[in-house]
Chain A
Amino acid sequence: MILDVTELTMDFGGLRAVNAFSLQMDKGEIIALIGPNGAGKTTLFNCVTGVYYPTAGEIRIQPPGNDAESIKGLKPSTIAHKGLARTFQNIRLFPNMTVLENVMIGRHTRLKAGVLGAILRDKRTRQEEEQIIHDSFRILKKIGIEQWANNQAKNLPYGAQRRLEIARAMATDPFILLLDEPAAGMNPHETKDLEELIVRIRDTEEISIFLIEHDMSLVMSLSERIYVMDYGKLIAVGTPDEVKNDPEVIKAYLGEEVSA
């Protein structure tokens, strides 16, 4: 088990956005979290990545080659350093920086050069800088957006911006990649490309993937296990087929028949 969320609860004032939610993830898995709008999916993501401090519960990770540890309440930058990288539901690139620079920021946490090194520009700093450019370009190539390397991120087509977010997250060398609605706003063709990309990332980079998605065809064909959330609570978990036929899930999505 590489990610273990137990009884996680998050309150905003009187509103319980996530209610005693538990989730486990194994190495090399692709799991999905689905649920109606406002169910608390993104809040759960924000708790796991340190944007919010959860009210109760525990989040533990087991990075490859390290002991299991709790990441509850750590700073987002520390969690990123520990190997959890994420993308955002509403694209949050650095719009005025170039595509390559966006990815170079992702490398930030894996490098050391400080202010003094920057000013003196000693041999190690220069080598490191060359290495960043090199690595970042290679990641762009893997994701397939290297032709835009020196364009400003805001000038990219929508689908490419989504891919750039994934590239930037991959640059942090994560062992878990958290994707928040990666296919939102994409056309069927782009979605298909994305599906291939996600599988490729899992297979070649040994990165486990945890995604939130509304595109059911993508979720069903991609994920090995699906967690369904409604009103902050876990209502079902299982393989795509199990979840598809679960009465609770159908109720959450379609509502109940009114018995008059």
Chain B
Amino acid sequence: MKLEAVKRSALLAMWFILLTFPVMVVRVNTVTGVVQWRWSNLVLVGLGSFVISLVWNWALARTAGRGGEAAEAGATDEATGGSGLRIGERMSDLRTMLSEPRYRTPAYALLAVVIVAFPFVMSLYQTNIMISALVYVMLALGLNIVIGLGGMLHLGYIAFYLVGAYTYGILNRFFGIGFWVALPIGAALSVVAGILLALPVLRLRGDYLAIVTLGFGEIARIVMNNTTKFSGGPQGIGGIPRPTLFGLEMGLLGVTRYTYYIIVVVVIITVFVVYRFENSRIGRALAAMGEDEIAAQAMGVDLTRMKLTAFALGSVWAGIGGVILAARTTFINPASFTVWESVIVLCCVVLGGMGSIPGAIVGALALILVPEYLRAFSDYRMLMFGAVLVVMMVFRPGGLIPKRRRSYTVDVAHEEEVVS
């Protein structure tokens, strides 16, 4: 078994050497006509692919429940069914521990202290990064309703973010409307946009829905790019005022901290609302629709209403997020709302765990914060991003924190007298 793996990896390494030989080893200088042979690269490619292949196979064997260590020690008994990587097991242990009030209360208290103290302990730069990460947390939570619960692949989510941001930008530009008034208007317009999109796509499912929503996202961006008089076109809208507090004068640091607290409060509200929605009659019906549309329909779930509700409730958060984004950056242009942004939000949801609220939060924080702190490796960022996604989907397809189904306890003693 062990030798077999080494053999396979060696073979793979040979193949990779052959494959990359023309690119990695041979270099022809066309000016001087000299061929340069870089043999050290050959060794590096060989060793690298050999090691990666070994690790990969070992990890795969572990997830398959074979138990790498047990096989190594030559143990003959069946390896105990440890599925998932060790990190995953630890994480679910942690979750079980956190569900006990004894640990939960101090853990939440600690979290609250960290959140409140963050902008005072950390620099302005860090606070700014955290604000944008928290905006993405909101987006991920909103998209999670549509994708995680409703099972509708939505690739144009960023359009609602755009609606929110431009609502504030345009209203401020033409009517001088402030942040606090723009916030509900942005949210409302996003809901309207969500319903407008949902109406034509009610009959669509899966791939077709994905394509239509993708198109919708692009339409929103291109319209903003071309209606120059209205939206400033590619130049965007600048000089958007930051959030205000009863006309109080705050420096840049103060206003950033203030924005941070606003977004924290809004995220908390989002989590609260999404959590309650998920565990309600409508949320449950939406989840049922995500699992099987035909069966849900046969059980009396009105698909039209469910889809409209999902889109409306999903886009409201993007709208609020958009208004906050506009207020934070004081400048918006269509380039901030490309398909790529939709894909990032989608990745946050999938990476965190579809349908899971803590998953969406952790996924968004990880995907936004990690690249920020890895600026040193900015050349390889996208490479790492892709690699992480591939590794995640192979070894933990349920996401970082997979959704857990709620279990209900029924008072059996009480039941006895009811059931005759």
Contact = CB atoms under 8 A, between A and B. Distances in A.
B252 interface: no
B292 interface: yes
Interface in B374-405: 405
B294 A94 contact: no
B339 to A, nearest CB: 29
A115 interface: yes
A154 to B, nearest CB: 10
A104 B309 contact: no
Contacts of A104: 284
A117 B273 CA distance: 11
Interface stretch (A26-34, A56-64, A128-136, A205-213): A128-136
Interface in B285-342: 285, 287-288, 291-292, 294-303, 309, 313
B23 interface: no
Given A77-B303, A108-B300, A51 B294 contact: yes
Interface stretch (B1-9, B59-67, B179-187, B407-415): B407-415
A88 interface: yes
A33 to B, nearest CB: 18
Contact of B287 (A94, A106, A138): A94
Contacts of A108: 281, 284-285, 288, 299-301
Given A78-B302, A113-B281, A125-B280, 16 more contacts: A76-B298, A81-B300, A85-B299, A93-B292, A94-B291, A97-B291, A97-B405, A98-B405, A108-B281, A113-B280, A115-B282, A119-B273, A138-B415, A138-B418, A152-B405, A169-B299
Interface of B: 273, 276-277, 279-285, 287-288, 291-292, 294-303, 309, 313, 405-408, 410, 415, 418-419
Given A115-B277, A118-B276, A129-B281, A105 B296 contact: yes
Nearest to A111: B281
Contacts of B284: 97, 101, 104-105, 108
**Chain B interface secondary structure, helix, strand, loop or mixed?**
helix
A137 B410 CA distance: 8
B404 to A, nearest CB: 11
Given A108-B301, A133-B408, A150-B408, A115 B309 contact: yes
Contacts of A98: 405-408
Contacts of A251: none
A238 interface: no
Contacts of B273: 119
A108 B301 CA distance: 7
Contact of B277 (A78, A92, A93, A118): A118
A105 B285 contact: yes
B337 to A, nearest CB: 27
Contacts of B280: 113, 115, 117-119, 121, 125, 129
Contact of A94 (B276, B283, B288, B302): B288
Instruction: Give chain A's interface residue range (CB within 8 Å of chain B).
Output: 35 or more
Interface in A41-97: 49, 51, 75-78, 80-81, 85-86, 88, 92-97
Contact of B281 (A80, A81, A132, A169): A132
A118 B415 contact: no
Contacts of B418: 134, 138
A153 to B, nearest CB: 9
A48 to B, nearest CB: 11
Nearest to A142: B419
A134 B298 contact: no
A137 B415 contact: yes
Nearest to B296: A105
A6 interface: no
A249 interface: no
A171 B279 CA distance: 19
A117 B301 CA distance: 18
A141 B408 CA distance: 15
A100 interface: yes
Contact of B302 (A75, A96, A149): A75
A172 interface: yes
